[in-house]
Amino acid sequence: MTGLPPAPECSCAGAGAESDPPGPAQSFLSVLPAGAAPSVAPAPGRPPARLSVNDYVNGVRGGDRGILARAITLIESSSPEHQVRAQKVLQKLLPFTGRSRRLGITGVPGVGKSMLIEALGCALCGQGLRVAVLAVDPTSTRSGGSILGDKTRMEQLCRQPNAFIRPSPSGRTLGGVARKTRETMLLCEAAGFDVLIIETVGVGQSEVTVRSMVDFFLLLILPGAGDELQGIKKGIVEQADALLITKADGENRLRAEQARQEYAMALHYLPANTPGWTTPVSLSSAVTGEGIPEFWQTVLRFYGEFEPNGRIAARRSEQAIQWLHDRCARR
Ligand code: GDP
């Protein structure tokens, strides 16, 4: 037993040496006299058990997924000492943030979020893009579970060297989970990920929270679930930049097309979330792949229209100000 954290086997990143409460590695190191070296030297090529602020910064900037995972664990820790170090790491990384495309994806459990993210994520990695997937899951604060916690989800994406998947942090409140997710997003940006996908389940206020972190927000809709508008909270449709009717394959296809027409009709009467943008309603199937490349084209068109005119930068500034207000209000 070396006390070292296990090297990540895949990019489904769990807790590292900074787990809260401290793991055996930390309790072991904490009883060493100052300046004493651990009796077991780290194996060559493996990071030391305790990283300095600069180790984190350099590791994250160098795109080291193992160190990125540990930096996120540091941010998620509730230990005051870890929090101080986490803030120092973040401060140093802030100048390198802001260059990713930030997408949010929501929909009721079972709508097909993880299969869609897997298909989209693999396609983007295939184009040489680096993709990070994070989750905001208010249900995990109650059940201890997590929407990305199940290791069987996104198995193929997990194996992509260009992908990084992180389950929802645990926390007592959605605000706490959201803070950690937002800071994790900044770490991933500093690590050079081109695309960040923030997944959330359509419960509580989590969609609104995720909407306030991303540039582009996608709502997934299940076809043929009785009343087509059931399960979708009032207001969330208006906040979306695109709607995808999922599982548009096999016997479901007709129902999916009907749902598409109904939502397209409903959207005529709603104000656009992004002025100047018409929210498209399309079909998708993670089984046949239909609609997924087209969805990415929609995202690119969105950036093509709203990046040059500063609309995306303005949205990010508004979000940062709102975020600051929320944090101050919670103190
Ligand atoms: P999530 O809870 O929203 O992440 O949903 P999942 O991605 O886990 O999918 C829930 C269920 O729907 C699983 O049994 C999937 O196999 C199935 N599913 C997901 N996407 C599709 C699709 O495009 N077509 C079909 N036929 N089934 C799908």
Cβ(249) to ligand 1 under 6 A? Answer: yes
Q: Distance from the CA of 111 to the center of ligand 1, in angstroms?
A: 6
Whether residue 287 has its Cβ less than 6 Å from ligand 1: yes
Residue 285 CB–ligand 1 contact under 6 Å: yes
pLDDT digits (tens, 9 = 90+) for 21-38: 433 332 222 222 333 333
CATH code, domain with 164: 3.40.50.300
C-beta of residue 48 within 8 angstroms of C-beta of residue 66 = no
3-state secondary structure of 37: coil
Report the pLDDT averaged over residues 284-292.
95
The mean predicted confidence, pLDDT, of the chain is 80
In a domain, 253, yes or no: yes
Which residue's CA is the closest to the ligand 1 atom numbered 18?
A: 112
Report yes or no on 222 lying in a domain: yes
**Residue of minimum CA distance from atom 14 in ligand 1:** 110
Host domain of residue 269: 98-330
- Comparing 234 with 221, the larger pLDDT belongs to 221
Atom of ligand 1 nearest to the CA of 108: 3
Is residue 246 lining ligand 1, measured as CB closer than 6 Å? Answer: yes
Looking at the 3D structure of the chain, how many domains does it have? 1
200 CB less than 6 Å from ligand 1? no
pLDDT tens-digit readout, 233-273: 667 888 899 999 999 999 999 999 999 998 898 888 888 88
- Residues with Cβ within 8 Å of residue 314, at least 6 apart in sequence: none
pLDDT band at 174 (very low <50, low <70, confident <90, very high): confident
Q: Determine the pLDDT at residue 254.
A: 94
Which of 31-35, 77-81, 86-90 has the least mean pLDDT? 31-35
301 within a domain of the structure (yes/no): yes
Is 179 a pocket residue for ligand 1 (Cβ < 6 Å)? no
**What is the pLDDT confidence band of residue 162, given thresholds at 50, 70 and 90?**
very high
106 lines ligand 1 (CB under 6 A): no
Q: What is the distance in A from the centroid of ligand 1 to the CA of 301? A: 27
pLDDT for res 331: 60
The pTM score is: 0.84
Q: Tell me the mean pLDDT in the region 151-173.
A: 81
Give nearest CA residue, ligand 1 atom 10.
110
Measured from the CB, is residue 286 less than 6 Å from ligand 1? Answer: yes
Residue 17 pLDDT > 80, yes or no? Answer: no
Name the nearest CA neighbour of 238 among 211, 276, 273, 264.
Answer: 273
| Residue range 272-286: mean pLDDT, rounded | 93
Determine the distance separating the centroid of ligand 1 and the alpha carbon of 56, expressed in angstroms: 37
Amino acid at 121: G
Ligand 1, atom 21: nearest CA belongs to which residue? 247
DSSP conformational letter for 137? -
Q: Please tell me if the CB atom of residue 203 comes closer than 6 angstroms to any atom of ligand 1.
A: no
Do residues 71 and 56 make contact, with C-beta atoms less than 8 angstroms apart?
A: yes
Residue 108 domain-assigned? yes
Residue closest via CA to ligand 1's atom 6 equals: 112
Pocket test for ligand 1, best of 106, 111, 114, 115 (most atoms within 8 A of CB): 115
Average pLDDT over residues 281-308: 96
Binding site membership of 114 for ligand 1 (Cβ less than 6 Å): yes
Is residue 256 a contact partner of residue 220, using CB atoms and an 8 Å limit?
Answer: no
d(CA 59, CA 7): 14
Query: Is 227 within a domain?
Result: yes
- Residue 245 is assigned to a structural domain of this protein: yes
Nearest-atom number in ligand 1 for the CA of 252 is 26
Instruction: Tell me if 153 is assigned to some domain.
Output: yes
Q: Which comes out higher in pLDDT, residue 3 or 12?
A: 12
Listed in sequence order, the residues at least 6 apart from 53 whose beta carbon sits closer than 8 Å to its beta carbon are: 85, 88, 89, 92
Q: How far apart are CA 92 and CA 59, in angstroms?
A: 12
